Structure 1
Amino acid sequence: MNLLLVSVGGMLGAICRYVLGIAIMSKFPTPPFPIAMLIVNVLGSLGLGVFYGSYYGGIPLGAYEESVFLLVAIGFFGAFTTFSTFSMETVQLYQKSAWKPLLAYISLSIVGSITMFVFGFSITK
């Protein structure tokens, strides 16, 4: 049952990431850095913070057997956000020697994601 919950959440998260990414790329066809994944990862961090704050009121330890945690936190947000794509796009910018966009992308992705998680968590807990 746990694998099914993670799978369903992951499927929904991946679909949402894809649809949102396509929508963002249609609005910004030639951004200076990968803005679609930046927005997806920052929004995903906000959403995960909101989930933890509103559902748990804290960051749970050992919730890996809870259905809602598996579906939402691991499945949906695990598939919605993507560190692997962030890593690949970072390497692409590095290979192009695009130093300013590289620094902006790394900084905004990491600081933005953490900040939005904390924000989402604090406004809902």
Structure 2
Amino acid sequence: MIAFFGFWGGVARLYGTHLLASPWNTLTINLLGAFLLPMWTGFLGPRLAKNRHWLVLGVGTGFFGAFTTFSSFCLDFVKLIIANQLTSALAYLGISIIGGVLVAWLGVTVAQRLTMKEMRF
């Protein structure tokens, strides 16, 4: 299941890379994935997949693992440095790291609040 969903995550990433000019496509996809992964594992997956933990794992690890990549992030950062775009490289690095942590935190927070709201009803 991880390989199956990994294939589709890679396809989604490939499609996404054509929407924006690099390296900003990598940044956008990685931030989106950092938000959606905790939403999937903390709220959507358990509800949609019910007792099929293999599906939650397959989508979480496979799809989002292939959709977001650390190697593309590093390569784009190095390309900016080689192109002598130091300001852009540092902005890209800062937004990727700080933004990634913030949107992951937001995803966890939203998933927790949705769960708590669901438990009240």
Paired position in structure 2 for 1:29: none
Paired position in structure 2 for 1:17: 13
Task: Report deviation, 1:44.
Answer: 0.5
Runs of 4+, deviation exceeding 4 Å: none
Matched, 1:39 2:35: no
Question: Alignment length, in residue pairs?
Answer: 106
The percent identity for this pair of structures is 30
Question: Deviations for 1:69-109, whole angstroms, at most 9, x for unmatched residues?
Answer: 33111100000001001111111112222110000100111
Equivalent residue letter for 2:30? N
- What value does the CA root-mean-square deviation take over the aligned residues? 1.7
Q: What TM-score does the superposition give when structure 1 sets the normalisation length?
A: 0.77
Paired position in structure 1 for 2:100: 113
Paired position in structure 2 for 1:6: 2
Alignment of 1:70-89 (within 5 A): 70-89=57-76
Give secondary structure in 1 for the equivalent of 2:19: helix
Alignment of 1:39-78 (within 5 A): 39-55=28-44, 66-78=53-65
CA 1:86–1:71: 2 relative to 1, 3 Å: same
Structure 1 unpaired stretches of 5+: 26-32, 58-65
Query: What CA distance in whole angstroms lies between the structure 2 residues aligned with 1:12 and 1:36?
Result: 17
Question: Deviations for 1:14-41, whole angstroms, at most 9, x for unmatched residues?
Answer: 111111221233xxxxxxx611000000
The answer to whether the 8 Å contact 2:26/2:72 transfers is yes
Greater fraction helix: 2
Structure 2 unpaired stretches of 5+: 47-52, 113-121
